[in-house]
Chains A and B, each alone.
Chain A
Amino acid sequence: MIAVEARGLAKRFGTHTVFSGLDLAVRRGETVAILGPSGCGKSTLLRCIAGLESPDAGDVRASGELSYVFQEPRLFPWLTVAKNVAFAARTPEEHRRVDEAIALVGLDAARDRLPKHLSGGMAQRAALARALVRAPDVLLLDEPFAALDALRRLELRSALGEIIGRAHAAAILVTHDVDEAIAIADRVLVLAGTPARFVEFPDLRNTEERKRAYLAALGVQAPSIARPRSIGTPFAARQSG
């Protein structure tokens, strides 16, 4: 079942066309990562899907319950962790899911703390729990780890894969971290250019090839250290770089 669908989507800010002609379809249970350089319109695309922005052309549809995790935790500072998570709950069933969601992100011990007493990683995990309470059909994640240090990112990355799997939602993860995208997503899309379009890729066989292709599409010189080479062939090494 297709839960998110966009056709010919375009967005302008003034005279600047952020992206145009975007087509996207995401099924329930599928995780799609959208990679792109800063300012390419990744977040704007997500905001269009969530209805926070209206597109200038094209159609976008997200069916069912929708949850959004922002770059910053955006917790309500006057509510404890548990009450922040419960903020999203409307039905008795959703209220019952509050404890489950808090446990899932590992915040049991911090449930009665105010946001000002949380570390950045804990706050972002609380935000993730809040997004899970509704058992969303569509889960939109806008660089949810952007504000975290490398260690916390790794820790949350593995947790997030499991959480998304359990949620069985159509998940769209916006990120500029290639490794994160490959690790979590079933499918990776690269958004690049002005105005931005999705880059097409030929069949990519393995992780390393994918990574090189994505990095190249992002305009990053691919590192040539991934495959060990014999010393004495500098020319070949330079060519493949």
Chain B
Amino acid sequence: MIVRFAVPLSLLAAWWAVTALGIVKPYQLASPVGVFAEAADLATHGLLAADLAASAVRVGAGFLVALAFAIVIGTAVGASRTAERAIEPTLQAIRAVPSLAWVPLILLWLGIGETAKIALVAIGAFFPIYVSLVAGIRGIDRKLIEAARVLGVTGIALARRVLVPATLPQLLTGARMGLTQAWLFLVAAELLAASRGLGALLTEGQQVSRTDEILVAIVAFALCGKLTDLALRALEGRVAGWVDAAVSA
């Protein structure tokens, strides 16, 4: 317990010390107390909740869109060599583009509305989920499929009772990586064009030189990312606890 909190608490103490002793100026780095006060202020006016909600909806929607596309395309590519030959080279080419390079194009095509932000989040989240799912489907033990077949379990029943449970752990691993990417792309999207959301709070803080506001947004991002990851990890523990890994999650 002591080991776990030693580093973050020391950092917090150092942060407080350098600001309280006036070593750095408030416009360079707000004090922890100042950041907490700003967070409380934003919260009481309902602004923090509105920003959080705006960001969460974008991440949630973009992530679900990515998940849906990744499951459909990943299943096709993983299960069929024909689909792999048809789709995989194109996807690999698209994947080779640093994803943020799509930002200007997306903004031109879809404008600066919600659709563009959700689309960007979806692009970011798609690839980790897709790659992990395809690997999961490829990695299914052929011997288990045979064991099911000799018991007369084929077709839809085989997919439902063997293929889905066998790939679920890999899909969840991909989903966790995809979610991290979703938050990353959300920041990019909101930095460019947004009036609400944690990214907008960052931009606003920069424009009015308020480091306390920027830090509130950064801490909020950290908490949101951690909480959503914890939720997926809990789900992973429930449905993928059977995996016989050397180091368990």
**A residues touching B (Cβ–Cβ < 8 Å)?**
50, 52, 66-68, 70, 72, 74, 76-79, 87-88, 90, 114-116, 130, 134
Check: B95 CB closer than 8 A to any chain A CB: no
Chain B contacts for A77, CB-based, 8 A: 242-244
Contact B165 A70 (CB under 8 A): no
Check: B87 CB closer than 8 A to any chain A CB: no
When the two chains form the complex, which single residue of A70, A72, A78, A134 contacts B242, counting CB atoms closer than 8 Å?
A78
> Could you count the A-B residue pairs with CB atoms below 8 Å apart for me: how many are there?
43
Contact flags B136-151 to A (C-beta < 8 A → 1, else 0): 0000000110111111
19 more contacts with CB within 8 A, not counting A72-B143, A115-B244, are A52-B149, A52-B150, A67-B150, A68-B147, A68-B150, A70-B146, A70-B147, A76-B147, A77-B242, A77-B243, A78-B166, A78-B242, A79-B242, A87-B151, A88-B151, A90-B152, A114-B241, A116-B244, A130-B151
Contact flags B154-198 to A (C-beta < 8 A → 1, else 0): 000000011001101000000000000000000000000000000
Interface residues on B, range: 10 to 19
Say what secondary structure dominates the interface of chain B: helix
> In the complex, what residue of chain B is closest to A72 when comparing beta carbons?
B143
**B residues touching A (Cβ–Cβ < 8 Å)?**
143-144, 146-153, 161-162, 165-166, 168, 241-244
Q: How far is the CB of A237 from chain B (nearest CB, A)?
A: 47
> In the complex, what residue of chain A is closest to B241 when comparing beta carbons?
A114
For the complex, give the distance between the alpha carbons of A70 and B153 in Å: 16
For the complex, give the distance between the alpha carbons of A87 and B150 in Å: 12
Contact A74 B244 (CB under 8 A): no
For the complex, give the distance between the alpha carbons of A221 and B153 in Å: 45
Q: How far is the CB of A35 from chain B (nearest CB, A)?
A: 23
